Amino acid sequence: MSETLPARRSVGDRQPGQRSLAGVAARAVALAGALFVILGPLSSLVIWSLAQRWNWPSSLPQVVGLRYWSRMLTGDFLQPLQRGVVIAVIVTALALLLAVPLGYSLARLRFPGRTLVLLAFLLPQAFPQLPVFASATREFYRFGLAGTMAGVVLIHLVGALVFAVWTMTAVFRSIPGELEEAAMNLGASLTRTFVGISLPLAVPGVVASALLVFLYSLDEFTGTLLVGAPFITTLPVYMYTASVGYELQIASVTALVLMVPGAILLLMLERVLKAEYLAFFGQL
């Protein structure tokens, strides 16, 4: 009677526990790699923000502390932060006030030149910002808006409307038109249909548009520097001034502070920005 040999196990015949451990290890390695790629470049900002004395050729600071973080609580730092937040709130409110009705019109109405209107709101992003804002600054000086809060709000609004109008147009395009037609067939006017049907359904898109505009305005640098300097200083301009003056600790603290609202708002944006909104961007 011939002796049967045990069958050789293949890789696919491993125990479920072994496969799960291998999967966990692979995911851990991938997560560690992603964290290194994302957070690795930020490590230098953290080190510089804690360095109180760092002389060459030392690879690490000789003295570390929270001296420069404590300067955040002084008026020298808080004033640009507060001013930037106020400007971002004003820009967001104005952008939504203009973009919501305009986005609804572009989504629902068919009129000559509709494509040109949409393209017009892409022009500020279609060219390098420096020449666009530089040419606008000349006009701002002519009308006395340079160096004023109103001038900075207007120059932010130029870029903010790009995000607001295109986002709101895609949002209203994603809402089924049959709902509005049913309301109108029951006797509702266009205004009542918009207020009672379309606008409530578009609330997540309005929130997403507001977050995009707020982040854009809070981080906007070029227009603020050209139009607002030297009287209007926001946090990005403050960081630039510190970097030019080789105050790398102050610039690092400012950069880290700017990242906090951006990270929080982007997480919120991921929750409210629906996939169907993005699908309609290509159909505008």
DSSP label of 3? P
Containing 227, the helix (H) or strand (E) segment is none
Q: Confirm or reject CATH 3.30.450.40 for domain 71-283, answering yes or no.
A: no
Q: What are phi and psi of 135, to 5 degrees?
A: -70, -35
Which residues lie closer than 8 Å to 87 by C-beta, 6 or more apart?
149, 152, 153, 156, 217, 234
- Domain residue ranges in the chain: 18-50, 71-283
pTM (global) more than 0.85:
no
> Per-residue pLDDT tens for 164-189?
988 888 888 888 888 888 888 888 88
> Per-residue pLDDT tens for 127-169?
777 887 888 888 888 888 888 999 999 999 988 988 898 888 8
